[in-house]
Amino acid sequence: MKNSFQITILCCNYTNLAEREDLASLLGKIEIKRYPCSGHIEITDILRAFKEGAKAVMVAGCSKGTCHNQKGSERAEKRVLGAKKILEEIGIEPERVEMFYVSRLDSGDFVEKAKAFYQRVLSLELKERAQ
Amino acid sequence: MIIAERRPIPEILQNIEGYEKVLVLGCRGCVAVCSAGGDREVAILAEALRLARTLSGKPLEVLEATFIRQCDPEYLEPLKKYKGEVEAVVSLACGVGVNLIADLYPEMRVYPGVDTSFYGANLSLGEWVEKCRGCGDCIIDKTAGLCPIARCAKNLLNGPCGGSQGGRCEVRKEMPCIWHEIVERMKRRGELEKLMEIWEPKDWRPAGGDGLRVRIRDDLRLNGGN
């Protein structure tokens, strides 16, 4: 399954300092794209990640109340909801994109949530492949 | 403004099923203000169409553009350059824009990307409510500025009906009974007796009962309108 299973993580540049190496234990490809603020992540960015081969997209922003731009991560959550609706309309499980609020400047929290999301998506993938 | 809502993507995909290159065309008028057909929505729909078609194994090339308006021939001029370049246009303008493209560019295949809903006001972020039905014969001078044609579920001219309870509409309880509000407002103004006047029957011809509605103002036309 290595290199055949890609997860793209779209995140605020300032929530954490995690790198791909921190997620090296996960099989497959982990793509991390950073933005000046998670509020800058658009629905189009999420859809494009899927078009570029991602099997799932994790959006990560600062915990509520800690966003440097006040409401950036809350905007990101709205965009994730918008993307879920579109994915559902075109036949992709909406669970393949999720918003995560992560502790600001805590890479550990980010890595933990990324690994948990990976496991959830892996289950979805295995279920799909078994059908 | 005119309120519209994006059509379900499967319906749009069905309309453009046989094509390999389309234009998603937005409008910076009303549909941009109500977040249904402006630049951002063009980008989102275009990306969604590309993704859906990639997944179905029939990739689609999608061009994106947004015009200032689509309800005016002058602003539709730039569409000429797409003639022969794309096989179809998915317009995110209201039905006026789609119709005008169909009129002016009969050789182009144009499909609606939004459903045109109503004339409404933007009451808060993400909330639009109907205020006018464009019936062409305003009676709101007699009803304290509140329109019973658009805002009464039964379009009553002599409400409130027997079903309104506590100032709420019986058809949709979350909505106020507009006739209740009209009566209360006229009472506060000391003008309640005006509602006792017998009105002339409402003229429904301007509402479309007399066929296609056209308005011509000779004072604005030069060279016969050309």
Closest CA to B6 of A121, A60, A43: A43
As a whole number, mean pLDDT of residues B74-87 equals 97
Q: Is B43 on the interface with A (CB under 8 A)?
A: yes
Q: Give the pLDDT score at A2.
A: 45
Residue to test with chain A: of B41, B44, B55, most A Cβ within 10 A: B44
Residue to test with chain A: of B47, B50, B53, B125, most A Cβ within 10 A: B47
As a whole number, mean pLDDT of residues B186-215 equals 93
Identity of the residue in A43, A51, A90 whose CB atom sits nearest the CB atom of B9 = A90
Q: Please report the domains of chain A, with CATH numbers, ordered by start residue.
A: 6-130 (3.40.50)
Sheet holding A6-12, edge to edge: A29-35, A6-12, A54-62, A97-102
Residue B39, classified by CB atoms within 10 Å of its CB into exposed (0-12), middle (13-18) or buried (19+), is middle
Chain-chain contact of A48 with B47 (C-beta, under 8 angstroms): yes
Instruction: List helix spans (H) across chain A.
Output: 43-51, 72-89, 107-130
Identity of the residue in B10, B54, B55 whose CB atom sits nearest the CB atom of A89 = B10
Residue A82: closest C-alpha in chain B: B44
As a whole number, mean pLDDT of residues A104-129 equals 88
> A50-90, pLDDT tens digit by residue?
999 999 999 999 999 888 889 999 999 999 999 999 999 99
Q: Is B44 on the interface with A (CB under 8 A)?
A: yes
Q: Which residues of A touch B40 (CB under 8 A)?
A: 42
Residue to test with chain B: of A43, A80, A87, A92, most B Cβ within 10 A: A43
Query: For residue B222, what are the contacts with CB-CB under 8 A and spacing of at least 6?
Result: none
Residue B11 has pLDDT above 80, yes or no: yes
Q: Give the pLDDT score at B28.
A: 98
Chain-chain contact of B8 with A89 (C-beta, under 8 angstroms): yes
> B97-132, pLDDT tens digit by residue?
999 999 999 999 999 999 999 999 999 999 999 999
Cα end-to-end span (Å), chain A: 17
Supply the CATH classification number for the domain B2-118: 3.40.50.2300
pLDDT band at B91 (very low <50, low <70, confident <90, very high): very high
Pairing of β A97-102 and β A54-62: parallel
pLDDT band at A9 (very low <50, low <70, confident <90, very high): very high
Give residue limits of the domains in chain B: 2-118, 134-199
> B166-188, pLDDT tens digit by residue?
999 999 999 999 999 999 999 99
Identity of the residue in B8, B10, B51 whose CB atom sits nearest the CB atom of A51 = B51
> A23-38, pLDDT tens digit by residue?
888 878 899 999 999 9
Look over chain B and give the mean of its residue pLDDT values, rounded to a whole number. 95
Q: Which residues of A touch B51 (CB under 8 A)?
A: 47-48, 50-51, 90
Amino acid residing at B112: P
The reported pTM is 0.92
Higher pLDDT, B159 or B78: B78
Q: Give the pLDDT score at A131.
A: 79
Q: Distance, in angstroms, between A98 CA and closest chain B CA?
A: 17
Q: Give the pLDDT score at B112.
A: 98
Q: Give the pLDDT score at A3.
A: 44
- As a whole-number percent, the residues of chain A with pLDDT over 70 amount to 97
**Residue spans of beta strands (DSSP E) within B92-214:** 110-112, 114-124, 127-132
